[in-house]
Chains A and B, each alone.
Chain A
Amino acid sequence: MAELRILYFAWLRERVGRSEETLELPAEVRTVAALRRHLIARGDGYPALAEPTVRVAVNQAMADAATALAPGDEVAFFPPVTGG
């Protein structure tokens, strides 16, 4: 799979306007931070990803800005969790 699967949850899903999408991984996007910049540059609802509270998970495990990305990865962006 050469594509990245990207998921959005809660108010981030509403702001971005979709719950998931796939992205052909651009050559220059090799980390979470680079992916975030790439998506924010799309405009519309995507600048919501710039909110400092936004969390990210890669392949269902918590990740950070420096986490490396590879084709086939599942990346999820979401607000701080509020279950329980």
Chain B
Amino acid sequence: MADGPRVAVQPAPFDVAAELAALTAGRHDIGAIGSFVGTVRDSVGGRRLAAMTLEHYPAMTERALAGIVAEATQRWPLLGVTVIHRVGRLQPGEGIVLVLAASAHRAAALAATGFLIDWLKTRAPFWKQEHFDDGTSAWVAARSEDEAAAAAWGEAPPPPA
């Protein structure tokens, strides 16, 4: 990648259009950008969600995300990567995570985007707690489908967190 990847963990919302513009600013070699935005849903298993809290392990998060981005960069000819993950209390409708992967062609851009979010979900130290409108809260359980999706990209060094 001509520029280093942009990796951020922040309480503040992200601006997808601004991030796309920053990724492509001054570049004429990029032909495709894959994007993924994860957002907070307002119902879970038939229960109304009032908010969600994202907890993380600050000292490890940046290292884990950098490792995942480095793995994607080894696998595909990427020209730029952006990964932004929010932490703290989020309301339904708000963005949780943004992944952008730029390449010369769409196959690499789309595949790298899928890989990045699949690995992030199973290897970066974030935990979601759901707050329901009846005042109760519950920690989200890890899903075996997520682990299967991450494993489908083929194994590589770090064990699932």
Interface residues in chain A, defined as those with a beta carbon under 8 Å from any beta carbon in chain B:
7, 9-11, 53, 55, 57, 60-62, 64, 74, 76, 78-84
Is the Cβ of A83 less than 8 Å from the Cβ of B120?
Answer: yes
Task: Verify B54–A81 contact, CB threshold 8 A.
Answer: no
Point out the residues of chain A lying under 8 angstroms from B120, CB to CB. 83-84
Which A residues are in CB contact (< 8 Å) with B139? Answer: 10-11, 79, 82
Does B142 sit at the interface, judged by CB under 8 A? yes
Contacts of A64 in B (CB 8 A): 159
Classify the secondary structure of B's interface with A. Answer: mixed
User: Which of B57, B129, B160 has the most chain A CB within a 10 Å cutoff?
Assistant: B57
| A79 to B117 alpha-carbon distance, docked (Å) | 19
With the chains together, A74 CA to B159 CA distance in Å?
Answer: 18
> Are A62 and B97 also in contact (CB < 8 A) when A10-B127, A82-B140, A83-B126 are?
no
Contacts of A76 in B (CB 8 A): 57, 60, 125
Q: Which residues in B have their C-beta under 8 angstroms from that of A82?
A: 121, 126-128, 139-142
Using Cβ atoms and an 8 Å threshold, which residues of chain A touch B54?
83
Cβ–Cβ contact B159 & A84, under 8 A: no
